[in-house]
Chains A and B, each alone.
Chain A
Amino acid sequence: MSGAGEIGQPPARVSSALRRHPGAIVLLTLLALFALAALFAPAIAPQNPYDLASLDILDSELPPVWLDGGSWTYPLGTDAQGRDLLSAVLYGLRVSMLVGVLAVVIQAAIGIPLGMLAGYSGGRADTLVTRFADIQLSLSTLMLAIVALALFRTWLGADSLGANAVPILVVVIGLAEWPFFARTARAGVMSEKAKDYVRAARALGATDAAIIRRHIFPNILSPLIIVAAIGIANAIMAEAALSFLGLGMPPTRPSLGTLIRSGYDLIFAGAWWVTLIPGAVLVALLLTINLLGDSLRDALDPRLQDRGGSVTV
């Protein structure tokens, strides 16, 4: 039963692959910092940006500390309502990452079982899942999400959509991109199921469910981790785009995309930081995750290099 142990269990493989790529360690540390900042935003943030009582309109549109007129009271400056931008960005990061991670959990929960089923059983189930995934991928996920949220907004009204924005965004973005998980899981199962250890397990009387869960799944985990990383970046990007259009998180509970939207008009008044600082944080987060996904892919599966995002199977 320890056949798979020689090459190391996938998590071990991931960590040893990362050790050989020093750049990946840096990226992982950055990602951990982002995650910690998001997780502990209420504790770190100097101000509660949702608490309207703590805002002072006289402090509105103050520049960051390194510009003339900036002060350490508001290190990144303030927005049009006098809200501390550092606090707003920390809370926004929290919302953006929450939506991104939860959406990918939904994608994985739909895509992995369907893909494994398709790859393991083959035949009609396989055709059905593959065809469905193809159709879904030929539609644009972002366009579908925009249309879905536009309809939600018309149906519920802007206020009610705003109040339920997190679950709606999570479900819409989650439903949109499951095919990537399904394809990867299917391809993994198809290549694993013919291997000796699977046949050995079957000969020993293991049931299909046990073979899939205990033997195949651990071995296809690494490519799925890559898909998840890229999926989180895509989900965060989609959420930001929807919020920028006014179809996502409301101004009362802003994500990074909402902050960019509400600061957008101020660039014409010269207060560029209100929109570009949340923007820079968003880009840094996306870049970290994308680069980490790339180096994971290079480390774990050299064959997949340069195939990122390509939809040929």
Chain B
Amino acid sequence: MDAIRPAASFLLQRLVQMLLVMLAILAIAFAVRSSLGDPIRELTGQAASASERAELREELGLNDSWPVQFGRYLKGAATGDLGTSYIYKRSTLGVILDKFPASFELVLAASLIVVLLSIPGGIYCAVKPRSLGAKLVLGFSVLGVSVPVFLTGILLISLFSVLWGWLPAFGRGETVSVFGWESSFLSLDGLEHLLLPAVTLSSIMLPLFIRLIRSAMLDELGRDYVRTARAKGVSRIHIWIGHALRNAWLPVIAQAGLQFGNLLAFTLLTETVFQWPGMGFLFLEAVTRADIPLITTYLVVVGAIFVVTNTIADLMSLALDPRVSLEAAR
């Protein structure tokens, strides 16, 4: 069989699926917007007369049938126009994308912490399952799962900011602009502001990944090829890293893809605790002030991020694992 063709058709299938999901999300966003939002009241306020309002309704096309309106909404979406924010009086997509770097860097910093700690932690718990250290790490992971992320944040703030006064408790501090991207990584003040939120966000993902890597490693270490390698005299470290970890990656990546939605929710909670000016914080502001175009645009943006990352995770496990059959991966 030609190996390329199924892969290409799988890719195409995935792409079509992505588009369908996005269409569904846009339909939901459109439905919410047209049933909850009243752009006329927002645009005119109390002063406008009934006839002025009716005129504006006609002008904005709000009297058209809903398929026509939905078509217009999709056309707008394709060009990046998803409406105008009531609060900010400008393009909702622009408002949200301005907040993207803050959220992205928070997630990036937290992911770095998770990757740097969960891999050695997970391997250690798998190769020395009866050691005191492994029991401590696993005990900590049960505790970590039981402490809600916002409480971790509050606890860290009350210790490091209020009690000891070492680190700032809210905001992003000083950022450095690199080609229009506001970064926290390039100034000491920015890094200080980033530290507590990033540790908070990682605290909820870390236990999960340590457990995942541990159980995937335990699976691999029990297999015949490990015994063979050991019989051949391959060093332990080489077996752990070079053989077992390489195979243990696959379930971990598949799981990481599934956890992405939770990561978004945890980021939103972390941003709320630290008043971190990211997309989640903006979303809650939009909810409190009933800025419906902003709310629905957030749904579309988050849906898009979610669909794209899920597809990437799928493609990655496909690329890394020749055993994943394309038929089964449908």
Binding site for B on A (CB under 8 A): 137-144, 146-147, 150-151, 153-155, 233, 237, 240-241, 244-247, 260, 264, 267-268, 270, 272, 275-276, 279, 282-283, 286-287, 290-291, 294, 306-312
Contacts and interface: CB of A to CB of B under 8 A. Distances in A.
Contact of B36 (A138, A155, A244): A155
A244 B290 CA distance: 18
B142 interface: yes
Interface string B142-153: 110111111100
A147 B299 contact: yes
B97 to A, nearest CB: 19
A306 B145 contact: no
B179 to A, nearest CB: 30
B69 to A, nearest CB: 19
B215 A247 contact: no
Contacts of A142: 261-262, 265-266
B154 A138 contact: no
Contact of B272 (A155, A244, A310): A244
A98 B151 CA distance: 21
A153 B287 contact: yes
A143 to B, nearest CB: 4
Given A244-B269, A275-B154, A150 B146 contact: no
A214 B283 CA distance: 50
Contacts of B255: 310-311
Nearest to B145: A290
Interface of B, helix, strand, loop or mixed by DSSP: helix
Nearest to B219: A306
Given A146-B265, A267-B162, A240 B215 contact: no
Contacts of A241: 148-150, 265, 269
Interface in B289-305: 290, 292, 295, 299, 302
What's the interface size class on B, roughly?
35 or more
A11 B89 CA distance: 61
Nearest to B216: A310
A282 B208 CA distance: 20
A151 B268 CA distance: 16
Nearest to B147: A283
A156 to B, nearest CB: 10
Contact of B287 (A150, A307, A308): A150
Interface string B242-283: 000000000100010010111011101100110000000001
Nearest to A312: B251
A155 B32 CA distance: 9
Contacts of B193: none
A310 B150 CA distance: 23
Given A142-B261, A264-B154, A264-B273, 13 more contacts: A138-B261, A139-B306, A140-B262, A142-B265, A143-B302, A150-B284, A154-B287, A245-B268, A267-B154, A267-B158, A282-B151, A287-B143, A306-B211
B118 interface: no
B142 A294 contact: yes
A146 B142 contact: no
B82 interface: no
